[in-house]
Structure 1
Amino acid sequence: MRIEARPTLILNTQDPERDAIDLYWLVGLLKDIRGGSSLVLASKNSGISYRGVWGKLNQVEASLGIPLMIRTKGHGSKLTEFGSFLCQFIEEMQGSYAQHGVSYQDALQREIKKHQKLEGARWSFYSSSDSIIQKAAAEVKGFGLKIAGSGESLEQLLNNNAHIAGYHVSDEKSSQVIHQRLRKHNIEIFPVMKRTQGFIVKKGNPFHIQAIEDLLNPKIRFINRQIGSGTRLLLDTLLLEQGIEPADINGYLHEEFTHSAVANAILAGKADVGLGVKNIALENGLGFVPLKDEIFFIAMHKDMLSHPESSKLIRKIRSYSGNTSGYKSISLNRQVQNWL
């Protein structure tokens, strides 16, 4: 399947009993005549009867008040000066559009493929935003990944709306509470990687941001993550520990839904700092100030263990995290024993 984007140019008349005329179709007919074809042959090439072509030509000429062809008995038909101009105008319009049309076609094609993958997925995978998770899920067949906050991902799993969930935790006590709750519902938990969260800042860190209290500077524009995300929970915990009121931070209510969106907002000059993971800052040429390490877990219902794709997904996540700056692979429970 290949989708092709084409421009259109339609002539609408004020006569309700007459159909609109596609000028792109008409110019195809005029090009045939300009090339030496008779009106009879041009009509055949256009896929419309000779009588039908005459009717459309007369309708266009009457609407414009300008002749498109000169009909000379015994000598065929030739284009008028305006008829030739119309051909050239649309040819140039098509050429100009072509360079933009390809990008529209490709964008639509990518979106179709993404949704085809989701529709064809056997298992629903909800996960907190992470580039390694997205990369691994795209390479293992059968998983339809949906990005959500850590909290929502776990709730989808507990409510049996998801087969597998990805979530991250930044302190041992919270992790233990989550672990106990999941185990009660016959859900298996696998630690897969450690990653570093911190401030994503402009290159060179012009505001010299080093700690949470620096966000109190009213000149610094902060960009937050959405409620329910693990990163938002981390920020709110740090603010509580420091006794800082969220309302005192310029931009606390300005939210984005992924680490990449936070980085893009800073690159675009819409914000000066946001909380996110180290590798996203590095990939975008931004500065990074580490604040906290956290553990990323994969949780799934026990019946998922019988599918080899589940093990393959976990192996890929661990493999990629072991080779990505700001991450460390975790392959054994004893590496994070205090978190379980």
Structure 2
Amino acid sequence: MQIEIRPTLVVQSRAEGRGSIDLIWLARLLKDIGRGSSLVVASKKSGISYRGAWGKLNQVEASLGMPLIVRTKGHGSILTEFGTFFIQFIDEMQANHHESGNAYQDALLKEIKKIEKSESARWKFLSSSDSIIQRAVTEVKGFDLKIAGSGESLEKLLNNEAHIAGYHVSDEKSSQAIHRRLSKSEIQIYPVMKRTQGLIVKKGNPLRIRSIDDLVDRKVRFINRQIGSGTRLLLDTLLMEEGIEPSDINGYLHEEFTHSAVANAILASKADVGVGVKNVAMENGLGFVPLKDEIFFIAMHRDMVSQSDASKLIRKIRSYSGETPGYKAVSLNRQIEGWL
């Protein structure tokens, strides 16, 4: 789609029954006359009859009270001083408008694209960070995805601020508690994939990090996930089980919002280790120390279940997870018996 914003200048005749005349068009006609064309030739090039052009010229001259051309029998027409000024005036107006016109044009196109996107995204989807989720949403149209922690995603769903939510849990007890809470609000839950969380380290694991216990070494620079994310909850649970104080970890308060951001920080040598999914470590050529498998769920309100977009999204997530290293597709509740 191409949109071009152009300046408009018209003169409105006071005479009854007379319409407005486009002065931009008139300036082009006068330019041809100024270059030596006769009114007959100039009017033909402008797409109007000689009689029509003559009439419009007379109307504009009468409205402005100034002649634009001088007609000399046998010698054609030449521009008056005002006619020459008028052409220059139109040229300058168009030139000055070009810069501001482009700004308005860009603003218009930006708003059109924004509205098109909002209209095509019918369903608000909040989900924990995951590359497969993001990939699936680009394939299945209709979802406006916002990356958020598992906790925030579920709270937005429960408060009817989202149509669908993606969350992950790493132990059966927590999963059962979440299931009970969501079920009370008649929210449907679908397991879609299993993935492995662990410690993402530099290639070759130069610091020989083997477990959570190694994070207390002050030489090890850690990078954390944000509060409310499932990955942060997993880490805090493991620390509590091991009796490790978060304050003993160098970098515990340094947070990132996605698995990829954690990997990028390690690649840039801003940190030595962080918690994330195996696939992200593999994609970035980093080392990985597995900690725990977890289940990723899709939750939605009952009225979303009948929407074909929701079914397509779940199928796409399961399909991608079945073919991606570090993941395993989960399509039946019996595959995760004890989690629901």
**Normalised TM-score (structure 1):** 0.68
1:130, distance to aligned residue in structure 2 (A): 0.2
In structure 2, the partner of 1:170 is: 170
1:48, distance to aligned residue in structure 2 (A): 7.3
In structure 1, the partner of 2:281 is: 281
How many angstroms apart in 1 are the aligned matches of 2:254 and 2:274? Answer: 10
**Which amino acid is the alignment partner of residue 49 of structure 1?**
Q
Residue pairs, 1:140-219, within 5 angstroms: 140-219=140-219
Evaluate the alpha carbon distance shift between residue 51 and residue 313 of structure 1 in structure 2; reply closer, same or farther with a 3 A threshold. Answer: closer
1:318, distance to aligned residue in structure 2 (A): 0.3
Q: Give yes or no for the alignment of 1:49 onto 2:99.
A: no
How many angstroms apart in 2 are the aligned matches of 1:187 and 1:114? Answer: 31
Evaluate the alpha carbon distance shift between residue 122 and residue 247 of structure 1 in structure 2; reply closer, same or farther with a 3 A threshold. Answer: same
How many angstroms apart in 2 are the aligned matches of 1:138 and 1:52? Answer: 47
How many angstroms apart in 2 are the aligned matches of 1:281 and 1:186? Answer: 37
1:118, distance to aligned residue in structure 2 (A): 4.4
How many angstroms apart in 2 are the aligned matches of 1:2 and 1:338? Answer: 57
Evaluate the alpha carbon distance shift between residue 303 and residue 272 of structure 1 in structure 2; reply closer, same or farther with a 3 A threshold. Answer: same
SS of structure 2 residue aligned to 1:339 = coil
Evaluate the alpha carbon distance shift between residue 328 and residue 112 of structure 1 in structure 2; reply closer, same or farther with a 3 A threshold. Answer: farther
How many angstroms apart in 1 are the aligned matches of 2:91 and 2:336? Answer: 78
In structure 2, the partner of 1:263 is: 263
In structure 2, the partner of 1:231 is: 231
SS of structure 2 residue aligned to 1:209 = coil
Evaluate the alpha carbon distance shift between residue 52 and residue 306 of structure 1 in structure 2; reply closer, same or farther with a 3 A threshold. Answer: closer
The question of whether the paired residues in 2 share the 8 Å contact of 1:193 and 1:296 is answered with yes
**Which amino acid is the alignment partner of residue 242 of structure 2?**
Q
For structure 1, list consecutive stretches of 5 or more residues without a partner in the other structure.
4-46, 57-108
How many angstroms apart in 2 are the aligned matches of 1:155 and 1:147? Answer: 14
SS of structure 1 residue aligned to 2:338 = helix
1:120, distance to aligned residue in structure 2 (A): 3.1
The question of whether the paired residues in 2 share the 8 Å contact of 1:194 and 1:329 is answered with yes
How many angstroms apart in 2 are the aligned matches of 1:51 and 1:151? Answer: 61
Name the count of aligned residue pairs. Answer: 246
Q: Which has the larger radius of gyration?
A: 2
The question of whether the paired residues in 1 share the 8 Å contact of 2:193 and 2:327 is answered with yes
Q: Give yes or no for the alignment of 1:246 onto 2:285.
A: no
SS of structure 2 residue aligned to 1:49 = helix
The question of whether the paired residues in 1 share the 8 Å contact of 2:202 and 2:272 is answered with yes
Evaluate the alpha carbon distance shift between residue 204 and residue 50 of structure 1 in structure 2; reply closer, same or farther with a 3 A threshold. Answer: same
Evaluate the alpha carbon distance shift between residue 234 and residue 157 of structure 1 in structure 2; reply closer, same or farther with a 3 A threshold. Answer: same
SS of structure 1 residue aligned to 2:194 = strand
Query: Which digits, 9 at most, give the CA deviation of each residue in 1:34-59, with x for residues without a partner?
Result: xxxxxxxxxxxxx9717987xx9xxx
The question of whether the paired residues in 2 share the 8 Å contact of 1:118 and 1:145 is answered with no
**Which amino acid is the alignment partner of residue 217 of structure 2?**
N
Give the percent of matched residue pairs that are identical in Structure 1 and Structure 2.
Answer: 76
Query: Which digits, 9 at most, give the CA deviation of each residue in 1:11-32, with x for residues without a partner?
Result: xxxxxxxxxxxxxxxxxxxxxx
**Structure 1 runs of 4+ with >4 Å offset:** 50-53, 109-116
Q: Give yes or no for the alignment of 1:298 onto 2:298.
A: yes
In structure 2, the partner of 1:220 is: 220
The question of whether the paired residues in 1 share the 8 Å contact of 2:224 and 2:252 is answered with yes
**Which amino acid is the alignment partner of residue 291 of structure 1?**
L
In structure 1, the partner of 2:34 is: none
**Which amino acid is the alignment partner of residue 267 of structure 2?**
L
Evaluate the alpha carbon distance shift between residue 118 and residue 48 of structure 1 in structure 2; reply closer, same or farther with a 3 A threshold. Answer: same
In structure 2, the partner of 1:313 is: 313
In structure 1, the partner of 2:331 is: 331
In structure 1, the partner of 2:130 is: 130
1:188, distance to aligned residue in structure 2 (A): 0.4
For structure 2, list consecutive stretches of 5 or more residues without a partner in the other structure.
4-85, 96-108
Evaluate the alpha carbon distance shift between residue 200 and residue 110 of structure 1 in structure 2; reply closer, same or farther with a 3 A threshold. Answer: farther
In structure 2, the partner of 1:69 is: none
How many angstroms apart in 1 are the aligned matches of 2:289 and 2:178? Answer: 28
In structure 1, the partner of 2:12 is: none
Query: Which digits, 9 at most, give the CA deviation of each residue in 1:255-290, with x for residues without a partner?
Result: 000000000111111101000001101111111111
CA RMSD of aligned residues (A): 2.7
SS of structure 2 residue aligned to 1:297 = strand
1:117, distance to aligned residue in structure 2 (A): 2.9
SS of structure 2 residue aligned to 1:338 = coil
Query: Which digits, 9 at most, give the CA deviation of each residue in 1:140-183, with x for residues without a partner?
Result: 11111110000000000000000100000000000000000000
